[in-house]
Structure 1
Amino acid sequence: MENLHEYLPQSVEGKAVLITGGTTGIGRAIAVLLARLGARVMIFGHRQDHLDDALADIKATAATDVYGYVIDVVKEEDIACMFREVDAKLKTLDVLINNVAMGYGNVTEGEYKDWQRVVNVNLTSYLAFCAGAIARMQANGSGHIINIGSMSANRREETGSVYVATKAAIQAYSEALRKEVNKRGIKVTLIEPGAVDTDMQQQPTTQKLEKVESLEMLTAQDVAVAVLYCLSQPKRCDVVELKVRPHLQLI
């Protein structure tokens, strides 16, 4: 093959990366991996203890700067504050990874304020962070937005109709967003993992580890590597949608 070097993974070294929900689970694994490879990473979460633990983990192998904050993504002023920190610390924004999420069951299990918070965290925050990212990326003529969705958008489990609604919305939004911004040099990727060993899975840790060993569950690191794959493609190549499922999650 001619020009094989063009197909070797593109480096993330020096890239300015904002990860929403980066203190636990998938977001934390992504932050650890990208920071280790030289990306300048900024994360946030909603608990100080989680943030402190995550920053210690990330900085242990980070090759460059790492920043972290505690915010509430349902508050518009907190999101605005986050982007002020992006401008002050990162100076630019190359990559947004929308990962923050909360699980929820059915509409019969709560009331309006509960559903509203799930929608605000799982969907409205994605819109808000995309808007802030696009404003900065289009000024540079390039950028990459990765939205972390879920297999629930297609599986549509009867035990989680509210959560399903938000993830189905993210699926549709990602497709429309790509059509909106790709002409500005901005890539959009949707990654939809299957079952992942994170705190969102309401099972004992030992049971989740057994499922990982039996190929019925992914690790957060598996999804992080999928993110890296999408970020590593040549400029002309868009990974539009990537479904990653455990080998024996046959759905």
Structure 2
Amino acid sequence: MTNGIEGKVILITGGSTGIGAETARLLAGHGAKVAVAARRKEKLDEVVAAITAQGGEAQAYTLDVTVKAQMEAVVAAVVANFGRIDVLINNAGVMPIRAMAEVNTEEWDAMIDVNLRGTLYGIAATLPRFIAQGSGHIINVSSVAGIKVFAPGGTVYSGTKFAVSAISEGLRQEVGEKIRVTSVEPGAVESDLKFSTSGAATETVLDFYKQAIPASSVARAIAFAVEQPADVDINAIVLRPTKQEF
């Protein structure tokens, strides 16, 4: 059913590594025009080079999702370069795991800024364009931690991901007649996300991620949502390693 992907212009935040990079490669392989955006330009260039070497079409954009003006500028640049935008994949995220009693408000702020505010800025930059063209697809990468609180240590992270899942469902109810909305909620996935943690919880997090599935598994789930006919909206996808309990 990959004809539902071919020709679509797709912007992926957090597109330099992990889920974002794997999704970019997969979708480009099915004929999408891919825009990857993240803070690390050198990593983005590697993703673009790999895609173009396989005959795909991709461009890189430096982006800090916590800066509203940068998000707006990247979306405008994607439209200028490709002529339109069809899909936004809000994938950028951070996951420092730490007990709340340690009161690390800098990490709390970072999770709110990247996971939540960054998602909202992506929606804000693309939604008016989608409404104007009468079509579009917003895919928000949440987490199983947005279904079940991951504690101790992941309380604030879970809070941001619960919010992303709630925003996805509320947005679907508001604009779902013409604009598709999908919340993708993975469990442990092999990516840089696990390295967000430092301090006492590091060993526990790394041990938990020994069961992780590859990022390509999530990429396939995202592609499944994208490739559906226009009258089919995959609202939520939950996927975990088979060994993961929660």
TM (norm. structure 2) is 0.88
Q: How does 1:129-148 map to 2 (within 5 A)?
A: 129-148=122-141
Work out whether 1:224 is the aligned partner of 2:216.
no
> Deviations along 1:169-215, whole A, 9 cap, x unmatched?
101111101001112x10001110111111222489xx88x94xxxx
Deviating more after overlay: 224-233 vs 65-74: 65-74
The match for 2:239 is 244
Measured on the aligned residues, the alpha-carbon RMSD in Å equals: 2.0
Aligned match of 1:126 in 98, 119, 127?
Answer: 119
1:200 is paired with a residue whose SS is: helix
1:92 is paired with a residue whose SS is: coil
The match for 1:150 is 143
> Deviations along 1:201-247, whole A, 9 cap, x unmatched?
2489xx88x94xxxx32111111011111112222221111101112
> Deviations along 1:77-114, whole A, 9 cap, x unmatched?
21122122122112211111110001122444454443
Work out whether 1:173 is the aligned partner of 2:186.
no
For 1:217 and 1:114, how far apart are their aligned partners in 2? 23
For 1:233 and 1:44, how far apart are their aligned partners in 2? 24
Deviating more after overlay: 170-179 vs 8-17: 8-17
Q: Which runs of 5+ in 2 are unaligned?
A: 196-201
The match for 1:234 is 229
| Deviation for aligned residue 1:123 | 0.6
The match for 1:18 is 11
Work out whether 1:44 is the aligned partner of 2:34.
no
For 2:77 and 2:101, how far apart are their aligned partners in 1? 39
Q: Report the CA distance shift for 1:235/1:137 in structure 2 as closer, same or farther (over 3 A).
A: same
8 Å contact 2:4–2:228 — kept in the other structure? Answer: no
8 Å contact 1:97–1:147 — kept in the other structure? Answer: yes
| Deviation for aligned residue 1:137 | 1.1
Identity %: 37
The match for 2:71 is 79
Aligned match of 1:59 in 52, 63, 68?
Answer: 52
Q: How does 1:192-207 map to 2 (within 5 A)?
A: 192-202=185-195
| Deviation for aligned residue 1:52 | 2.4
Q: Report the CA distance shift for 1:88/1:219 in structure 2 as closer, same or farther (over 3 A).
A: same
1:104 is paired with a residue whose SS is: coil
Which one-letter code corresponds to 2:173 in the other structure? K
| Deviation for aligned residue 1:26 | 0.1
Which one-letter code corresponds to 1:174 in the other structure? S
Q: Report the CA distance shift for 1:10/1:109 in structure 2 as closer, same or farther (over 3 A).
A: farther
2:238 is paired with a residue whose SS is: strand
Q: Which runs of 5+ in 1 are unaligned?
A: 1-7
For 2:77 and 2:103, how far apart are their aligned partners in 1? 35
The match for 2:88 is 96
